[in-house]
Amino acid sequence: MIFDVGSFLHQPAGATRAYRLNEHQDKSEELPAAGVTGTVSFLRTRRGILVSVCLSAVSSDTCSRCLEPVQSVCDIEFQEEFAPTVEIDTGTRLSPPDDVFAIDGRQVLDLNEAIRQYRLASRSMQPLCRPDCRGLCPDCGGNLNLGPCSCPIRSADPRWRALSELRQKARIGVEERGS
């Protein structure tokens, strides 16, 4: 997702250019690797290039409940302005404003960082294989989506457990008295 924009920067404001993208974004510390496809278009502005992106990033993740592999799709749509850090004809250093991304000194526009930031912002911290994933049994680790495991059913509230133990004792008491 790297574009040589040297010749495009020579064009007057208002010039456009469009690309179809089908690329791979490497794994980073916070994000899994992804296949990135879609369209990117450039509009030459007075101070740089306005980049419009309409992409979808498909990555392999892990369900946060059952740990099965899931494919997560992240749609990325944004417009960001990129500005040169070096004046194209004279080679003079420029300081682009804070609100834009920088085009490096060799007039290379790198979309990777912008795409990474947008992927990160829209990433679900707890990816799920399906909204109602039942997860793993905390006792045996069985995948509860495949059916119930053979562990005894635990009651969620310890007070109910205490009550059922009392009931069981009472029943034993009745049986003992009856015999």
Q: Is 151 in the site for Zn ion (CB under 5 A)?
A: yes
Minimum gap (Å) between residue 71 Cβ and Zn ion: 12
The least CB distance from residue 137 to Zn ion, in Å, is 3
Among 65, 74, 115, 118, binds Zn ion (CB under 5 A): 65
Residue 137 binds Zn ion (CB under 5 A): yes
Member of 15, 43, 54, 149 binding Zn ion (CB under 5 A): 149
Count residues binding Zn ion (CB under 5 A): 11
Q: What is the 3-state secondary structure (H, E, C) of the chain?
A: CEEECCCHHHCCCCCEEEEEEEEEECCCCCCCCEEEEEEEEEEECCCCEEEEEEEEEEEEEECCCCCCEEEEEEEEEEEEEEEECECCCCCCECCCCCCCEEECCCCEEECHHHHHHHHHHHCCCCCCCCCCCCCECCCCCCEHHHCCCCCCCCCCCHHHHHHHHHHHHHHHHHHHHHC
Q: Counting contacts by CB under 5 A, is residue 136 touching Zn ion?
A: no
Q: Per CB under 5 A, does 140 bind Zn ion?
A: yes
What residues line the site for Zn ion (CB under 5 A)?
63, 65-66, 129, 133, 137, 139-140, 142, 149, 151
